[in-house]
Structure 1
Amino acid sequence: MNSIIKRKVFLVRIQFISPVSISSGENEWTDADVLRDFDGNPFIPGSSLAGAMRAYLNKKKTQPCLMGYSGAFSEGKMSSLYISDLNFDEKTVAGVRDGVKLNEKKVSVTEGKYDREVLEAGSKGHFYMELAVRQKDDEEQMEEELATVFRGINEGEIRLGGKKTRGFGKLAVVSLAVRTFDKNNYLEYAKAYREDAWEKRQDELDKWLQGCAFQKRMIHVEVPLRLKGGISVRQYAARKNEPDFTQLMDHGVPVIPGSSFAGAIRHRIQKILGEITANGAKLPIAVQALLDNAFGYVEGNGACVSNIIIDEAEIEEARPLTIVRTGISRFEAAVRDGALYKERTYVDGRLKLRAAVRIQKNPEDTRWMLGILLLALKDLQNGFLSVGGQTAVGRGVFEPDGELRIDGKAGIEDGIISEMFRSLV
């Protein structure tokens, strides 16, 4: 017999640092509407939380862990961890993100337009976790795995929803309260999920984070940048008397989406790899295969998740600038009828581009992936690579605003790039 000897209930309060999109599978308002309950309130199902956590623990369904497993010959164990839905504490702000698929020449692909509903950054919520500890369980190991999950969330390595590798779904644990129920206080368990039962509970987040023997799954890169001019990542205005085009905004702040950075960086990396092979260097595999491994792909029944993650960047201290422009006919070199439009952009802002590289099983793969990413980021940092629209007229150009840091360390990128070249040549 392996009966339950105690239950630990966790109240986890979180805040989203970036937009989040949990699709319901419906397309009534957009191509991917946010999941909502019967009353129209958005929520994130516990199954999404559990899936993200299990994937981060790197445990297959046949491998024992606190989230259960199913082995051969009818062996297995049900999950010891129960996870509730994530509910938001206050009214969330929903928005719509437009997207379009571009080819290698930054030209839109036919029928490549899409949109999705998102919940903007800053949304706060909470969920419950319940750990059932049985007589034969290794409680210490189970708590170690839980602490790893909490640390992974706050390191930005566990994310929720769609477009996770392009900046969406990043969150942080704000507070963590724990209550233990055993034979001495089992009657109190009836109130475990009542919010008023947690009012005076102490925050134990630091205790759980510091007591974790944490091993990072990613290498994190931070690049401080300053806009040399304006930026043009457009969203279309729908209000009367508003400019026809405005810079993409989220929770009232101008932002550059991770997809815009990723597209520019991927194109630059492809160009760099082409120049390397043209000069006689031997790559471990073909250029396209390297790109697919780094940035992911979907082709037929085959797919690979992106191993380079690029966050959405908020632009700080930027000044709004409204411009009235008109379209010009290139054939006639004259103004086109009805082509007058107004645009609001932002200039002279500061931002931090944050990217991460998943640590691969083969150290060589990690080395080249990080090195080639750093080469492209150096081009971006020094104004040789621009991002967004209207780059031909000076938009989306940056200059350094501080030292590039890798896992918090500055001044080591040149050594990593050199090491990558030595492994490729």
Structure 2
Amino acid sequence: MNAVLKRKVLYVQVQFESPVNVSSGENEVTDSDVLRECNGTPFITGSSLAGAMRAYIEKEKSEPCLLGYSDGDAGKMSSLFISDLTFEENPVIGVRDGVSLSDKKTAVMQSKYDIEILEAGVKAHFYLELVIREKDDEMLMEQELATILCGINAGEIRLGAKKTRGFGEFKIIRLSEKVYSKENYLEYAESYNLEKWGNCSNKLESWIKKASWSPKVIHVDVPLRMKGGISIRRYAARKGEPDYVHLTDHGVPVIPGSSFAGAIRHRIKNILNELVQAGVELPKDIEEIMNLSFGYVKDTQACASNIIISEAEIKGAKPMTMIRTGVSRFESAVKDGALYKEKTYVDGKVNLQLQIRKSADPRDEKWILGILLLALKDLQNGYLAVGGQTAIGRGVFSEDKPMLIDGEKGREDKLIAEILTNMTVNRGMEG
């Protein structure tokens, strides 16, 4: 007999910091539509939340943990029950286009796709119910749950598709708690009634303090200033709008993580090729480094990116609408029917945020971070442009404030020097 002693129900209110796509598997509107209830309202299933939480605490389904396990004849049901996530307001639904690019920044044939998203800024809530039984270690269970809460607020637990390119980030803004035992078990019937949680205090800080937590990633912040305009196009479909407008989310101009990732990946590959030509012996071959750093999918094998790049808002930018026309490079004359109107943004500030997953072998994360920092320095110095129309000066940045690595400034030069010093030179290629 292992009777239930108490139930702790947590009301968790969150706000999405970036767009999210939890797919329904349908493709009626786009190639990947968001999940909806029968009345058309978007939601996120509790199983999606549970999967993200289990992955974060790095427990297989056969390993004992808060979320239960099954191993042959042994096992235990989950002590943590997770409700679906419900949005508290009608989220703004948008569509994002994507295309695979070659190393030469040209589109790969038949690689165009679009996905439906819920735009950032929307608030939502879900419930967590922790069941404490006679033989359970309540303190250990709460500590494990608190670790999950820390992971959410550090941006290390994300939901849905394209998590490594900025999607699915959310933060807890309120956490309230009610405890039900044999003294008040009748009140448990109202535990999932939203109206009953209105006057409850916010216990988030007290829960965070229960965690024995350390980050699973290295956090890098790169404050940038735009030196001109930016052009990541969204094609307008409404009458009276410009033909092309820069991408926005919840009314704010943004640079998607995929745009930064494409530019940074291309620059890192160039840097690696130059190091090899200079006779430097890399820790792995170039293809393996790129796959390990940015992930890959090949037949039945896949690896998630170890470099996570967030979507960045452009703050303080000025909108600029201009009328342009295509010009024939051979005749130096205007092309017929090539007149178009474009809306871009200029002179803004961007805080690029990246994460590098920590490895079981610290040497891996060091050289991945070191090579990444080389590309980020190029971005800061205006040598690496992002987005479209880079040939006419779009997408160029300069340093706005010092780069931060895990909250500390001034570390990048030392880390770059360390990784380059540890790489050996092939003596046969010198001279």
Give the TM-score band, short-chain normalised. over 0.9
1:351 is aligned with what amino acid? Answer: V
2:374 match: secondary structure: helix
Partner of 1:6: 6
Any stretches of 5+ residues in structure 2 without a counterpart?
425-431
Note the C-alpha offset of 1:217.
Answer: 0.3
1:310 is aligned with what amino acid? Answer: I
Partner of 1:118: 117
2:161 match: secondary structure: coil
Note the C-alpha offset of 1:284.
Answer: 1.9
Distance 2:418 2:211 in 1: 32
Residue 202 of structure 2 is aligned to residue 217 of structure 1: no
Q: Deviations over 1:151-180 (max 9, x none)?
A: 000000000010000000000000001111
Alignment of 1:208-357 (within 5 A): 208-357=207-356
> 2:230·2:387 contact (CA, 8 Å) conserved in 1?
yes
Partner of 2:76: 77
Distance 2:327 2:55 in 1: 52
Q: TM-score, normalised by structure 2?
A: 0.97
Q: Deviations over 1:168-210 (max 9, x none)?
A: 0000000001111111111111111111221221110011112
2:110 match: secondary structure: strand
> 2:10·2:175 contact (CA, 8 Å) conserved in 1?
yes
Q: Deviations over 1:109-135 (max 9, x none)?
A: 111111111000001000001111111
1:6 match: secondary structure: strand
1:251 is aligned with what amino acid? Answer: H
Q: TM-score, normalised by structure 1?
A: 0.99
Distance 2:33 2:20 in 1: 12
- C-alpha RMSD over aligned residues: 0.8
Residue 16 of structure 2 is aligned to residue 19 of structure 1: no
Query: What percentage of residue pairs aligned between the two structures are identical?
Result: 59
Partner of 2:38: 38
Any stretches of 5+ residues in structure 1 without a counterpart?
none
The farther-off stretch of 333-342 and 398-407 is 333-342
2:335 is aligned with what amino acid? Answer: R
Partner of 1:140: 139
Distance 1:79 1:171 in 2: 24
Note the C-alpha offset of 1:70.
Answer: 1.2
The farther-off stretch of 415-424 and 13-22 is 415-424
1:315 match: secondary structure: strand
Distance 1:95 1:362 in 2: 40
Note the C-alpha offset of 1:330.
Answer: 2.2
Q: Deviations over 1:252-274 (max 9, x none)?
A: 11000000000000000001111
Distance 2:23 2:288 in 1: 30
Residue 99 of structure 2 is aligned to residue 100 of structure 1: yes
Q: Deviations over 1:294-322 (max 9, x none)?
A: 00000001000000000000001101111
1:121 match: secondary structure: coil
Note the C-alpha offset of 1:424.
Answer: 2.3
Partner of 1:57: 57
1:214 is aligned with what amino acid? Answer: W
Note the C-alpha offset of 1:211.
Answer: 2.8
2:16 is aligned with what amino acid? Answer: F
Distance 1:424 1:62 in 2: 40
Note the C-alpha offset of 1:332.
Answer: 2.6
Distance 2:101 2:170 in 1: 29
Note the C-alpha offset of 1:323.
Answer: 1.2
Deviant stretches of 4+, over 2 Å? 330-333, 422-425
Distance 1:160 1:316 in 2: 25
Distance 1:325 1:200 in 2: 56
Alignment of 1:351-390 (within 5 A): 351-390=350-389
2:315 match: secondary structure: coil
Distance 2:269 2:149 in 1: 36
Note the C-alpha offset of 1:228.
Answer: 0.3
Note the C-alpha offset of 1:422.
Answer: 2.5
Partner of 1:154: 153
Q: Deviations over 1:357-379 (max 9, x none)?
A: 00011011010011111111110
Count of residues in correspondence between the two structures: 424
Distance 1:362 1:350 in 2: 36
> 2:324·2:339 contact (CA, 8 Å) conserved in 1?
yes
Note the C-alpha offset of 1:421.
Answer: 1.6
Q: Deviations over 1:71-105 (max 9, x none)?
A: 24x11111111100000001110001011111111
1:230 is aligned with what amino acid? Answer: G
Partner of 2:176: 177
Distance 1:157 1:229 in 2: 32
Distance 1:83 1:364 in 2: 37
> 2:142·2:210 contact (CA, 8 Å) conserved in 1?
no
Distance 2:179 2:40 in 1: 34
